């Protein structure tokens, strides 16, 4: 089977598994991203996420993760919900409405990888979805999935940005897609202007240490007093920069039952959240990404918002 046939087969199977888009880039060192990432770390924009400092070479060179790697297969998976939380309540990011995406997407990636090995032949490779030092957005851009918005997230022209990214790094030689040719953000600065904590710089740099998602998910310490009143009722993550993006008017609801929220989640009021017990927390967020912050972390965030 030649590389053209291999590529068609892989893409066809990926779409059958429900992936929204797929692109393939030639594996190699990310030279441009290396400079940007080094400066980002030097400026301390990672805050207390010290793990970002680890495995610098692996982040930038997929052959350090899979020896002999030739291809990075990038995939996107839609999570945009059909229904959202009621107004005037404490909010969680839409990606966390349903069950933790790591499990669902990892299973689909493993099925795709097994298909590759069965139908094409033995290959060395690994699957990833926000689970290892992989520059996901860089590879998504290089593989033609979309362009990097000013909020630093990948945008697809007719689908918006509410999707997860995933990768298979493989030693297979495949046909490579061209990087997305045009940045369609133009002069729009809505995401920059709308960010409640001024975490987005004009050069597509996200000061993660100033992002609401960082404070409500990553930071284990006491929330900084100078941020009080700036979170706009976000208690887990934040979607402001995506909600204001004009391209997300094209976002269509996902069709995956795995991402359906608990029946009570969308209708809970501020009072409900303020009175939430650990038992209710475990019930609503069973197998959810919100469990990462734990009951105590969510309570801390809610108390900060009162």
162/194 same-domain check: no
| pLDDT, the chain, mean | 96
201/229 same-domain check: yes
pLDDT tens-digit map of 17-33: 999 999 999 999 999 99
* Under 8 Å between Cβ of 188 and 194: no
Residue 181 within any structural domain of the chain: no
DSSP E strands: which ranges in 96-160? 125-128, 147-148, 154-155
Report the SS3 class of residue 23. strand
Residue 112 within any structural domain of the chain: yes
pLDDT tens-digit map of 157-187: 999 999 999 999 999 999 999 998 889 999 9
164/198 same-domain check: no
66/109 same-domain check: yes
How confident is the model at residue 181, as a pLDDT?
Answer: 84
17/148 same-domain check: yes
How confident is the model at residue 10, as a pLDDT?
Answer: 98
pLDDT tens-digit map of 180-223: 888 999 999 999 999 999 999 999 999 999 999 999 999 999 99
160/194 same-domain check: no
How confident is the model at residue 182, as a pLDDT?
Answer: 83
pLDDT tens-digit map of 91-125: 999 999 999 999 999 999 999 999 999 999 889 99
The pLDDT of residue 131 is above 80: no
Which residues are paired to 74 by β-bridges?
Answer: 23, 167
195/234 same-domain check: yes
Which of 127, 142, 170 is the C-terminal boundary of a domain? 170
How confident is the model at residue 1, as a pLDDT?
Answer: 86
156 CB burial (10 A radius; 0-12, 13-18, 19+): buried
Residue 246 within any structural domain of the chain: no
129/61 same-domain check: yes
123/31 same-domain check: yes
**Catalytic status, residue 87:** no
161/195 same-domain check: no
How does residue 7 score in pLDDT terms, banded at 50, 70 and 90?
very high
The pLDDT of residue 86 is above 80: yes
Q: Which domain holds residue 219?
A: 190-241+261-305
146/273 same-domain check: no
**pTM recorded for the entire structure:** 0.95
Residue 7 within any structural domain of the chain: yes
8/69 same-domain check: yes
187: CB partners within 8 A, 6+ apart: none
How confident is the model at residue 180, as a pLDDT?
Answer: 86
Number of domains forming the structure of the chain: 2
How confident is the model at residue 197, as a pLDDT?
Answer: 98
pLDDT tens-digit map of 31-82: 999 999 999 999 999 999 999 999 999 999 999 999 999 999 999 999 999 9
How confident is the model at residue 115, as a pLDDT?
Answer: 97
pLDDT tens-digit map of 217-268: 999 999 999 999 999 999 999 999 999 999 999 999 999 999 999 999 999 9
Which residues are paired to 71 by β-bridges?
Answer: 26, 170
Residue 147 within any structural domain of the chain: yes
Q: Which residue in the block uniquely carries the two structure tokens 């990404």?
A: 289
**Residue tagged active-site, from 130, 171, 233, 256:** 130
Residue 129 within any structural domain of the chain: yes
Residue 284 within any structural domain of the chain: yes
Residue 248 within any structural domain of the chain: no
């Amino acid at each position: 089977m030649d590389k053209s046939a291999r590529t068609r087969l892989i893409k066809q199977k990926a779409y059958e598994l429900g992936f929204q888009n797929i692109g393939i880039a030639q594996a190699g060192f990310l030279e441009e991203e290396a400079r940007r990432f080094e400066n980002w770390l030097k400026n301390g924009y990672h805050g207390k996420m010290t793990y970002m400092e680890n495995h610098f070479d692996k982040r930038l060179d997929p052959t350090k993760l899979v020896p002999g790697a030739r291809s990075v297969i990038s995939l996107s998976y839609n999570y945009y919900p059909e229904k959202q939380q009621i107004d005037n309540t404490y909010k969680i990011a839409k990606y966390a409405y349903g069950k933790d995406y790591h499990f669902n997407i990892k299973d689909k990636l493993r099925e795709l990888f097994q298909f590759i090995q069965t139908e094409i032949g033995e290959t060395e490779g690994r699957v990833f979805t926000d689970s290892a030092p992989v520059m996901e957005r860089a590879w998504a851009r290089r593989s033609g999935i979309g362009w990097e918005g000013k909020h630093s997230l990948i945008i697809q022209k007719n689908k918006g940005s509410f999707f997860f990214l995933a990768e298979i790094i493989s030693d297979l030689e495949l046909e490579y897609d061209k990087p997305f040719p045009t940045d369609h953000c133009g002069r729009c600065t809505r995401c920059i202007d709308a960010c409640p904590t001024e975490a987005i710089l004009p050069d597509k740099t996200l000061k993660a240490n100033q992002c609401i998602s960082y404070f409500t998910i990553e930071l284990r310490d006491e929330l900084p007093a100078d941020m009080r009143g700036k979170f706009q009722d976000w208690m887990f993550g934040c979607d402001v920069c995506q909600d204001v993006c004009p391209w997300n008017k094209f976002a269509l609801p996902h069709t995956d039952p795995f991402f359906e929220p608990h029946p009570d989640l969308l209708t809970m009021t501020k009072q409900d959240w303020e009175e939430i017990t650990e038992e209710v927390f475990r019930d609503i967020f069973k197998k959810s990404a919100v469990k990462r912050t734990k009951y105590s972390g969510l309570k801390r965030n809610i108390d900060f918002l009162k």
